[in-house]
Amino acid sequence: MAAGQLGLFLALLTPILVSLQLKVQSVVPENDQVTSLGIITTTGSVAAMLANPFFGRLSDRTTSRFGRRKPWLVLGMLGLLLGLMIIATASSVAVITGGFVIASASANAALAAFVATVADNVPEYKRGKISGLLGIMQNLAPTAGTWIAQYFNDRMLLLFLVPSVIGIFLVLGYVMVLPDKPLEHKPEPEGFKAVLRTYWVSPRQHPDFAWAWLSRFLLTLANWMFTTFRLIYLQHEMRLTAAEATETLATGVLVYGLCVMGSAQAAGWLSDRFGRRKPFIAAAALLFGVGMLILSGADTVALFYCAEVVLGLGFGTYLGVDLALVIDVLPDPENPSKDLGIFNIAMSAPQIFAPALGALLISLGGGHNYAILLVTASLVCLGGALAILPVRKVR
């Protein structure tokens, strides 16, 4: 399961963090790069947001003899590879956008099936530990992807394909050993209204799920407001070349990843040990907000690394208990993929708004105003911490 998580996010996050930004710089004039990147990532995020619950529902209802989850894990990863190949060979923003839509939708088909396997197979008393382990893999993936990217800066096709091919093999390894019992009975046919209900869980009937959803939405929004422009931030604020910024980013992501891995495993274990989830989510949001504030005043690479430490501790603590908390408050535990897909909208929807909002904040004052971006992100983190407090089903 850990290897599958690593592979999925290695293939998905490397393009978002590094490859896509370098590709845009290779085909778009400098003055239009931020806007173009915002358009591409926003469009891809819409596809991701719609695809996750849709394929999650299909996964719950799949009657394949191979199981409910395995077909979508395989098909999703192959579609992701196709989308990345389109991006790598594109010569215009329109084609890059189309490729990113295919890649995002396909990756979320695989992601919806993957997250459901956690609910299918992991007992409640181990969910914090497993959530922490998966959090480690999710953040080891961009660390590995960023370091891989250093060796292919001038070879665009390999820059996209190497991480994705490695990711596919890791996911296929998980598919080979996954316990995935086929459905015993064929589900009843559903109409169009049932399809629309795929995207809805009543906050009135399931308030704990709604508050957990809002908390993740705000934290993810804050994260992507900065992550989308991370490489460009280093170039503009630290006056680094593309090669220097890539190298600095690789080191920063490594520092961030190590902190995430340590804090995620510790938070997950402690969460299971004490039977509490909410305090860890609130502390994580506050730490992440402090990290954003440090970045807002950073004027050296050393301060950038310090901020990465704090951000890593905060986000790792969050990942250590996030999935465990959500599975604890699922509206329908017997068919988890659809509701987990809705919850994953809280991870994909901010990617729609964050690039556009980030680009707007950066442009305020007629320059590269990253301070306003980062202060706003820290306030959003505070909102994410407060949103988890009303959850009642878990402590």
Contact of 163 with 145, CB cutoff 8 Å: yes
> Which residues are CB-neighbours of 224 under 8 A, at least 6 positions away?
350, 351, 354, 355, 358
**Residue 208 included in any domain:** yes
**Residue 185 included in any domain:** no
**Residue 271 included in any domain:** yes
Residue 193 or 80, more confident: 80
Q: Of 21-25, 190-194, 343-347, where does mean pLDDT reach its minimum? A: 190-194
**Residue 108 included in any domain:** yes
For residues 235 and 85, what is the distance between their CA atoms, to the nearest angstrom? 27
- Quick count: other Cβ atoms within 10 Å of Cβ 274? 12
Q: b/e map of 75-104 (b: 16 or more CB within 10 Å)?
A: ebbebbbebbbbbbebeebeebbbbbbbbb
pLDDT tens for each residue of 305-354: 999 999 889 888 887 887 788 888 887 776 677 787 788 788 777 877 78
| Percent of the chain whose predicted confidence (pLDDT) is above 70 | 95
Burial zone of 384 (CB within 10 Å; 0-12 exposed, 13-18 middle, 19+ buried): buried
Structural tokens at position 63: 């009657």
pLDDT tens for each residue of 254-286: 888 788 888 888 888 898 888 888 888 888 888
For residues 36 and 30, what is the distance between their CA atoms, to the nearest angstrom? 10
Task: Evaluate if residue 98 carries a pLDDT over 90.
Answer: yes
The pLDDT score that the predictor gives to residue 81 is 94
pLDDT tens for each residue of 122-136: 887 788 888 888 877
Contact of 74 with 175, CB cutoff 8 Å: yes
Rounded to an integer, the average pLDDT of 91-111 is 92
**Residue 392 included in any domain:** no
**Residue 83 included in any domain:** yes
Q: In which domain, by residue range, is 117 found?
A: 2-177+190-387
Task: Evaluate if residue 192 carries a pLDDT over 60.
Answer: no
pLDDT tens for each residue of 371-394: 888 888 888 888 888 888 888 877
| Percent of the chain whose predicted confidence (pLDDT) is above 90 | 17
For residues 42 and 219, what is the distance between their CA atoms, to the nearest angstrom? 17
Total residue length of the chain: 395
> Sorting pLDDT into bands at 50, 70 and 90, what band is 365?
low
Supply φ then ψ for residue 356, to 5 degrees.
Answer: -65, -45
The pLDDT score that the predictor gives to residue 191 is 59
* Single-letter amino acid, residue 261: M
For residues 312 and 318, what is the distance between their CA atoms, to the nearest angstrom? 10
Structural tokens at position 312: 């890593």
For residues 72 and 107, what is the distance between their CA atoms, to the nearest angstrom? 10
Structural tokens at position 279: 């305090």
The domain that holds 168 is classified in CATH as 1.20.1250.20
Task: Evaluate if residue 114 carries a pLDDT over 70.
Answer: yes
Q: What is the 3-state secondary structure (H, E, C) of the chain?
A: CHHHHHHHHHHHHHHHHHHHHHHHHHHCCHHHHHHHHHHHHHHHHHHHHHHHHHHHHHHHHCCCCCCCCHHHHHHHHHHHHHHHHHHHHCCCHHHHHHHHHHHHHHHHHHHHHHHHHHHHHCCHHHHHHHHHHHHHHHHHHHHHHHHHHHHHCCCHHHHHHHHHHHHHHHHHHHHHHCCCCCCCCCCCCCCHHHHHHHHCCCCCCCHHHHHHHHHHHHHHHHHHHHHCCHHHHHHHHCCCCHHHHHHHHHHHHHHHHHHHHHHHHHHHHHHHHHCCCHHHHHHHHHHHHHHHHHHHCCCCHHHHHHHHHHHHHHHHHHHHHHHHHHHHCCCCCCCHHHHHHHHHHHHHCHHHHHHHHHHHHHHHHHCCCHHHHHHHHHHHHHHHHHHCCCCCCCC
For residues 240 and 238, what is the distance between their CA atoms, to the nearest angstrom? 5
Rounded to an integer, the average pLDDT of 351-375 is 78
Query: Which range is most confident: 70-79, 88-97, 157-166, 341-350?
Result: 70-79
pLDDT tens for each residue of 224-253: 887 777 777 888 878 788 788 888 888 887
**Residue 20 included in any domain:** yes
> Sorting pLDDT into bands at 50, 70 and 90, what band is 70?
very high
pTM of the model: 0.70
Q: How many domains does the chain have?
A: 1
* Average pLDDT score over the chain: 84
The pLDDT score that the predictor gives to residue 197 is 64
**Residue 395 included in any domain:** no
